Chains A and B, each alone.
Chain A
Amino acid sequence: MNTTTQATPAAPENYLSINNIEVIYDHVILVLKGVSLTVPKGKIVALLGANGAGKSTTLKAISNLLHAERGDVTKGSVEFKGTRVDQLTPNELVKRGVIQVMEGRHCFAHLSIEENLLTGAYTRGNSRAELKQNLEMVYHYFPRLKTRRTSQAGYTSGGEQQMCAIGRALMAKPEMILLDEPSMGLAPQIVEEIFEIVKDLNSRENVSFLLAEQNTMVALRYADLGYILENGRVVMEGDAKELASNEDVKEFYLGLSSAGRKSFKDVKHYRRRKRWLS
């Protein structure tokens, strides 16, 4: 999985790190119960887990988008390149190189694809020439967007919208993209296409990714490292390949196992055991 060749700086572990964060919505709903994770520079890290595990909440806690949803980080810290970023506005964070691609894509429906991409450069205040150059870079990775550049984003396909959302984030020239469920509602070959591009961006543009996915199998194939989240806690972490071949993961997240599919009761038992362990 080691396609990245660039030399990592002295403390690669401290690139992006979340330390024991707790998130509460509406002052009462405790959703993250002490999540810690790190993204080393130049890596793709998958954040896995079932519906409602807290993947999106974790990403929004990093990008400071929780506030708009009446969520608060009540404990813990987030650091990027050695400095705390938890008190920054999304605007400041984007300027420092961390940007989120939200779940469900959220393209600007009434803007054309190209206008969508241009809004992504808002924080940079690029010159015309730079904008053009960045657009070409995005079109290079997403040739489909070029053919649809004048279409209203709201009328393009789900895959094109996902590409548009990623391309829009790229226009901000980020070092790190927080990508939430890129595979949501897309046909398998489109999912592959998008993950291939993510991998490409990772190795050629040096963009690190923290990738929230329900599609465990695909995500682990493209990721370097993985974390499994359950009920607001990290229950497993490790090398993506190892996770993918781990019997427990296979059984309960991929639905495959040597002994065939186990019953739901076993799953529950497993989960309870896992919770005790964590």
Chain B
Amino acid sequence: MQFFFEVLIGGLLSGVMYSFVALGFVMIYKASGVFNFAQGAMVFFAALTFVGFQEMGAPFWLALILAFGAMVLLGIATERIVLRPLVNQPHITLFMATIGLTFFVEGLAQGIWGSTVRGLDLGIQDEPIEWIMDKAGILVSSFDLFAAGVAAALVTLLALFFQYTRVGRALRAVADDHQAALSIGIPLQNIWRIVWAVAGFVALVAGLLWGARNGVQFALTFTALKALPVLILGGFTSVPGAIVGGLIIGSTEKLAEVYLGGYVGGGIDSWFPYVMALAFLLIRPEGLFGEKHIDRV
């Protein structure tokens, strides 16, 4: 049973990462109708940029701020160079554009910072916490606890931002009805830039946590593809769906790997989430929390 919990906690942690990537997708999709395939590449870009600045001698906070600045610039450039010229084009065109963007961002990141695997040190110990070990006999790393705390703080911050600020309200308005938002004078392009910046920030946090655990390397972009089953599970427009979906995918894939892996030859965490998402798709196509369509409007 202790082992079960240890696997579960490890799974939930990778689930948090999936959640963050999915969250970036959901925000951009809701606000601009763009399915941003490049979200995973953005996570990679963010982490690499942070490490790059650190290697140049920047202290933690400065590197964080610079990396965030880079993400904001990337978001603004994307809106200006890729999305704005394609406004009013079919969704598939925009989707293809973000696939192109993915390769560009990956290339750009490696072009600037090189392609060697880097370590990322957040200064958080990755050791079992003793009192949990003593009390429950479960190995919980202090890093895991830290990551969970950061995740909870970020989600709370985003929720407050969307719910109670003028810009947050405008973001939700744009997600509901572009045309109407435009008609009352909400500047869509500003809103899109803000959304990309927020998505960039989420990508940065995900990249840092992930990079600190597994090193900053190209494989990050593949892991970020796990956000797809998360989106299918959670629904493309639901913020809570992205979070809960990520946790479910993360924990079940690890549990499946440990408990079922032996029967099918291991390595099932690479495909199990997709099978689960597909099965789920058949039962509930709108996703776990797929936003209810209001028919009266």
Please determine whether A110 and B176 come into contact, CB atoms closer than 8 angstroms.
yes
A226 to B245, CA, bound (A): 56
Please determine whether B186 and A154 come into contact, CB atoms closer than 8 angstroms.
no
Contact pattern, B 177-214, Cβ under 8 Å of A = 1, otherwise 0: 11111111111000000000000000000000000000
Which interface class (under 10, 10 to 19, 20 to 34, 35 or more) fits A? Answer: 35 or more
Which residues of B sit under 8 angstroms from A108, Cβ to Cβ?
A: 172-173, 176-177, 180-181
Report the nearest B residue to A102, measured CB to CB: B183
A227 to B181, CA, bound (A): 28
Please determine whether A155 and B184 come into contact, CB atoms closer than 8 angstroms.
no
Is the CB of B291 closer than 8 A to any CB of chain A? yes
Nearest CB on B from A111, distance (A): 6
Nearest CB on A from B139, distance (A): 43
Please determine whether A107 and B169 come into contact, CB atoms closer than 8 angstroms.
no
For window 76-107 of A, CB contacts with B under 8 Å fall at: 89-91, 93-95, 99-102, 106-107
Which residues of A sit under 8 angstroms from B185, Cβ to Cβ?
A: 90-91, 93-95, 99, 122-123, 172
- A111 and B176 in contact (CB under 8 A), knowing A152-B294, A154-B296, A155-B296? yes
Report the nearest B residue to A70, measured CB to CB: B88
Is the CB of B170 closer than 8 A to any CB of chain A? yes
- A100 and B183 in contact (CB under 8 A), knowing A68-B178, A108-B176, A109-B177? yes
For window 265-297 of B, CB contacts with A under 8 Å fall at: 291, 294, 296-297
Please determine whether B294 and A119 come into contact, CB atoms closer than 8 angstroms.
no
Nearest CB on A from B236, distance (A): 15
Please determine whether B173 and A106 come into contact, CB atoms closer than 8 angstroms.
no
- A122 and B184 in contact (CB under 8 A), knowing A154-B297, A155-B296? yes
Is the CB of A115 closer than 8 A to any CB of chain B? yes
Contact of B170 among A63, A99, A109, A122 (CB under 8 A): A122
- A91 and B297 in contact (CB under 8 A), knowing A109-B177, A118-B169? no
Which residues of A sit under 8 angstroms from B170, Cβ to Cβ?
A: 119, 122
Which residues of A sit under 8 angstroms from B135, Cβ to Cβ?
A: none
Which residues of A sit under 8 angstroms from B187, Cβ to Cβ?
A: 89, 91
Is the CB of A169 closer than 8 A to any CB of chain B? yes
Contact of B180 among A94, A102, A154, A172 (CB under 8 A): A102
Is the CB of A182 closer than 8 A to any CB of chain B? no
Please determine whether B183 and A99 come into contact, CB atoms closer than 8 angstroms.
yes
Report the nearest A residue to B186, measured CB to CB: A122
Report the nearest A residue to B295, measured CB to CB: A154
Nearest CB on A from B54, distance (A): 38
With most chain A CB atoms within 10 A of its CB, the pick from B173, B175, B177, B179 is B173
Is the CB of A168 closer than 8 A to any CB of chain B? yes
Which residues of B sit under 8 angstroms from A30, Cβ to Cβ?
A: none
Is the CB of A218 closer than 8 A to any CB of chain B? no
A101 to B184, CA, bound (A): 8
A93 to B297, CA, bound (A): 27
Please determine whether A106 and B169 come into contact, CB atoms closer than 8 angstroms.
no
Is the CB of A42 closer than 8 A to any CB of chain B? no
Please determine whether B183 and A90 come into contact, CB atoms closer than 8 angstroms.
yes
For window 138-175 of A, CB contacts with B under 8 Å fall at: 152-156, 161, 168-169, 172
For the complex with contacts A99-B185, A101-B183, A153-B297, 4 further pairs of A-B residues with Cβ separation under 8 Å are A94-B184, A108-B173, A109-B176, A111-B176
Can you report 21 A-B residue pairs in the complex whose CB atoms are below 8 A from each other? A65-B179, A70-B88, A90-B183, A91-B187, A94-B185, A95-B185, A99-B185, A101-B183, A106-B179, A106-B180, A108-B180, A109-B296, A111-B176, A115-B169, A119-B181, A119-B186, A120-B184, A152-B294, A154-B294, A154-B297, A172-B185
